Amino acid sequence: MTAYLLAIGIVALIYCLLALGLNLQFGLTGLVNFGVVAFFAVGAYTSGLLSLQGVPLPLSFAAAAVLAGLLALPIGLLSLRLRDDYLAIVTLGFSEAVRITIQQESWLTQGVQGLPGLPKLFASWGPVSDAAIFAVLLGAVALVAWGTVRLTGSPFGRLLKAIGDDEAALSALGKDPARFKVQVFMLGAALAGLAGAFYAHFITFITPEQFIPLITFYVWMGLIMGGAGSVRGAIFGSLLLMVFLEGSRFAKDWVPGVSEVGMASLRLAAVGLALILITLYRPHGLWGGGKSQ
């Protein structure tokens, strides 16, 4: 049971990292990134492939973040001059393109067979390796949360919020919004890449099917439930989502007459209902602080 909870905790913290990245992009700056999972996948495969070549994990983790961040550059330059909804479509399409590329280019990625046997983080620690992964992830989430707060209070963060409010007005004040948008897009993507590396070296077996757009929308659900624009919202929203998704597994013990499969659908319905109720009654999210509009 402890092992199970630890595993859930690790996945929840990985979602927290993804949500914190999306929070920089969407929560602060208003960039509608529907391709979170692409950068997550690139991070996972980059670190996975490098580690299979014998590259030490700290280096492969760094490479995952850097490569995911760099991959955001062309997407950013191509599409950040577009309106919100176009960016959403471009990034969604991009994430599917990345998944299908991973699936097809089997000379590099072993295609649908995936990459089994990735080195596990802290493998040498034996029975406490999961606890160590959890602790390191917790540290990473705390660091990113601190960094986000610091960023939000800085002149750079001020401009991100200004872009989120009214980009054209900012450009009338002598600032080039595109530059800041590309930077924050890359930063959020690098965080997703880092999250991907953690995922790869925790699960130790990655396949293209793990990187479907549903992952992106889970991250969005968590962020919106928690409160976009708020660090607490990103973190607690992701944790809450995980409680819904995983916790409802146990609900079958108390809900009689529902099959295992039926339960899986029920919990998605529960998440959907929660999302509807929250957007209706707490449009800024549970921890979003209800900023005046």
Partner 1 sequence: MMLSVETVTRQFGGFKAVDGVSLQLAEREILGIAGTNGAGKSTLFAAIAGQQPADAGRIRFDGHDITRLPPYRRARLGLVRTFQVPREFKSLSVHQNLLAAAANPQGERLLNAFVRTRSLREHEEQLVAKADGILQFLNLTRVRDKLAGGLSGGQKKLVELGRVLMLDPRCILLDEPFAGVNPVLIDEICERVRELHARGIAFIVIEHHLQALKALSQRMIVMDRGSILAEGDPHTVLDDPRVQEAYMGGVA
For every residue of the chain, DSSP letters joined together read -HHHHHHHHHHHHHHHHHHHHHIIIIIIT------HHHHHHHHHHHHHHHHHTT--HHHHHHHHHHHHHHHHHHHHHHHTTS-HHHHHHHHHHHHHHHHHHHHH-HHHH-GGG-B--PPPTTGGGGGGHHHHHHHHHHHHHHHHHHHHHHHHTSHHHHHHHHHHHHHHHHHTTT--HHHHHHHHHHHHHHHHHHHHHHHHHHH--B-GGGG-HHHHHHHHHHHHHH-TT-HHHHHHHHHHHHHHHHHHHHHTTTSTT--HHHHHHHHHHHHHHHHHHHHHH-TT-TTS-----
Q: Given candidates 110, 129, 175, 204, which one binds partner 1 under the rule CB under 8 A? A: 175
Q: Does 203 bind partner 1 (CB under 8 A)?
A: no
Considering the complex, state which of residue 9 and residue 21 has its C-beta at the smaller distance from partner 1. Answer: 21
Which residues in 126-155 contact partner 1 (CB under 8 A)? 147, 150-151, 154-155
Is residue 81 part of the contact set for partner 1 (CB under 8 A)?
no
Contact characters 219-248, partner 1, x per CB under 8 A: ----------x-------------------
**Whole-number minimum distance, CB 180 to partner 1, in Å?**
8
Q: Does 173 bind partner 1 (CB under 8 A)?
A: yes
Instruction: Please identify which residue in 75, 87, 187, 191 interacts with partner 1, judged by CB under 8 A.
Output: 187
Selected binder of partner 1 within 157, 188, 285, 288 (CB under 8 A): 157
Min CB(275)–partner 1 separation in Å? 23
Residue 170 binding partner 1, by CB under 8 A: yes
Residues forming contacts to partner 1 in the complex (CB under 8 A) are 147, 150-151, 154-159, 161-162, 164-166, 168-176, 180, 183-184, 187, 229, 291-293
